[in-house]
Amino acid sequence: MPRTHDRDSFYKLATREVAKIVIEHKTIRWRTPLQFNDPFDTQTRLVANVEPEKYADRFIQRIEELAFGEEVPAYYDPASTLHQQAMVMRRRTPMWQRREALDSLRPGALQSAQRLAATLGEFSDELAAHLQHGRVFCMTENVNNVVMWTHYAENHEGVAFKLRVLEDIDHPFLIARPVSYSDEYICIGDSLRMADHFSRAAPIDLAALAWELVYLKHSDWNYEREWRCYWPLLHEPVGTGFIDPAQDPRIFEAIYLGCRMSEKDRAEIVDLAARCLPNSEIFIAKKSTTSFDLMFERIR
């Protein structure tokens, strides 16, 4: 698959027990977002900033252009039922009835605008149900992140993996995307933009916006510097909520052992890596003596 970014690697943090499974079986675990620690993950909504009167004015303007303009607008779409109806109005409505015909459409436009929040809510709920059924693999840009080690690697007793992005295998890492962080949900448009969408004068690509929900989190999470791969499973049973596909061993470039990991766990993981991932480098994390940083000492 074609590469969509220029990164050579990512990092994945894990507990000791998960790390042992990863090393032994050379797998990575993809999870449903419902198992994540963020209750908003892929459950946000698409919203619109609409004033009904402004929406109705614009919607009627677009219908007037279609039905009664001197020339048929360039945005005319013969496949649109609404546009087909406008062409019928153009052919059959006498000049003296045109204003009346347009005014008769206004109550419906107002009602649509007033219901838009509820309509988008229903659409967003249905969309979230589909997105949550898929599987996500989350990674980070930087292994030297004290908070990430605390949250995802057992308070520094766990492990981080450096994962290569390889050009010569067809792998999802090639199309990983960075997460965007925001204080707001995705706003798809104001009154004019939404009227242009529903009048089909300038349709919004809702499918593209829908995918953005997978890669959007609240700004409080921006310390994670997260990247994601998403695997849609819309026609698969929910099952356990995760999958563990086997990987090419070359993906596992390095293994980092937490600065609080015991000597016993360290020896066990190093021995396991020697048997199962002999070509992966191994580092031990240590606290810096001059700053709030982790230092990494290579031991293999």
pLDDT, one tens digit per residue, over 88-123 is 999 999 999 999 999 999 999 999 999 999 999 999
Would you say residue 162 lies in a domain?
yes
- Placement of tokens 């921006």 in the chain: 222
Same domain, 229 and 103: no
Cβ partners under 8 Å of residue 97, min gap 6 = none
CA distance 149 to 243: 23
Same domain, 112 and 22: no
Whether 262 maps to a domain, the answer reads yes
Query: Residue 151 corresponds to which tokens in the numbers above?
Result: 């949250």
The predicted model scores a pTM of 0.89
Residues 91 and 155 both lie in one domain: no
* Residue written as token pair 């994601």: 228
Average pLDDT by stretches of 10, the chain with 300 residues: 94 97 96 92 93 97 96 96 95 93 96 95 90 92 97 98 96 97 96 97 93 96 97 74 92 98 97 98 97 95
Tokens at 106, concatenated: 């206004």
Please check whether residues 172 and 224 belong to one and the same domain: yes
Residues 155 and 249 in one domain: yes
Q: Are residues 111 and 222 in the same domain?
A: no
106 shares a domain with 236: no
Helices (H) and strands (E) in the chain, counts: 9, 14
Residues 37 and 111 in one domain: no
Question: Is the residue at 3 inside a domain?
Answer: no
How many domains is the chain built from? 2
Q: How far apart are CA 82 and CA 33, in angstroms?
A: 38
Asked if residues 74 and 201 have their Cβ atoms less than 8 Å apart, the reply is no
Please state whether 74 falls in left (phi above 0), alpha (psi between -120 and 50) or beta. alpha
Phi/psi of residue 177, each to 5°? -125, 145
Sequence-ordered alpha helix ranges (H) in 15-97: 16-25, 52-68, 81-92
Q: What is the pLDDT of residue 234?
A: 67
Rounded Cα gap, residues 81 and 255, in angstroms: 58
Domain around 105: 46-123+189-207
2-31 burial, b at 16+ Cβ within 10 Å, e below that, comes to eeeeeeebbbbbbebebbbebbeebebebb
- Residues 109 and 250 occupy one common structural domain: no
Residues 224 and 256 in one domain: yes
**Angle formed at CA 180 by CA 6 and CA 240, multiple of 5 degrees:** 90
Residues 18 and 160 in one domain: yes
* Residue 149 within a domain: yes
- On whether the CB atoms of residues 175 and 1 are closer than 8 A, the answer is yes
- CA quadruple 20, 21, 25, 27: dihedral sign: negative
